[in-house]
Amino acid sequence: MEKVLVLHGPNLNLLGEREPEIYGALTLEEIDRRIAEHAGRLGVTTRSVQSNVEGELVREIQDARTWADGILINAAGYSHTSVAVRDALAAVPVPAVAVHLSNPAAREHFRHVDVVAGACRGVVAGFGWRSYVLALEALTDADQ
């Protein structure tokens, strides 16, 4: 595995100021920097994209089939609602891991359904920014 798309969904552009008691104090830029640093150690390059728009997430997933070997996706609020994002992941033969900073299973009931995770190889949730790094390790390891 050489190239990984890191896809961040809605409201994750506000990390750092958005409910820091739940999502931590790091900005998305800093999280992306840490992911890229860790990826470098694993011999992987990452391309990070954030969008608040469901259709843009779908387009990025579709485009990933032309260049990416794996996908990390935190679909954020769309995790619980978006059949379109799930279908895009199911449509491309690129393995994906679903990521959450918080642990949705320990939160409100409406977060307990994760329609996107069902199209992923696995889920890493609840470890803050480290969820991304753990997911990257799992994704690249699962490739072996």
Cα–Cα distance, 22 to 100 (Å, whole number): 11
| Residue among 44 and 101 whose Cβ is closer to ligand DQA | 101
Q: Is 27 in the site for ligand DQA (CB under 6 A)?
A: no
Number of residues that bind ligand DQA (CB under 6 A): 10
The sign of the CA dihedral 10, 6, 37, 140 is positive
* Residue 104 in the binding site for ligand DQA (CB under 6 A): yes
Between 47 and 111, name the residue whose CB sits nearer to ligand DQA.
Answer: 111
CB of 74: closest distance to ligand DQA in angstroms?
A: 5
| First-to-last C-alpha distance (Å) of the chain | 9
Copy the structure tokens of residue 15.
């990390």
13 binds ligand DQA (CB under 6 A): no
User: If binding is defined by CB under 6 A, does position 101 make contact with ligand DQA?
Assistant: yes
What is the closest distance, in whole angstroms, from the C-beta atom of residue 144 to ligand DQA in the complex? 27
- Could you tell me if 79 and 9 are in contact, meaning their C-beta atoms sit under 8 angstroms apart? yes
**How far apart (Å, rounded) are the C-alpha atoms in residues 83 and 67?**
23
User: Please, where are the H alpha helices in 1-144?
Assistant: 20-23, 28-42, 54-64, 83-91, 130-142
Q: Which residues are catalytic?
A: 23, 100
Residues that bind ligand DQA (CB under 6 A): 11, 74, 76-77, 79, 100-102, 104, 111
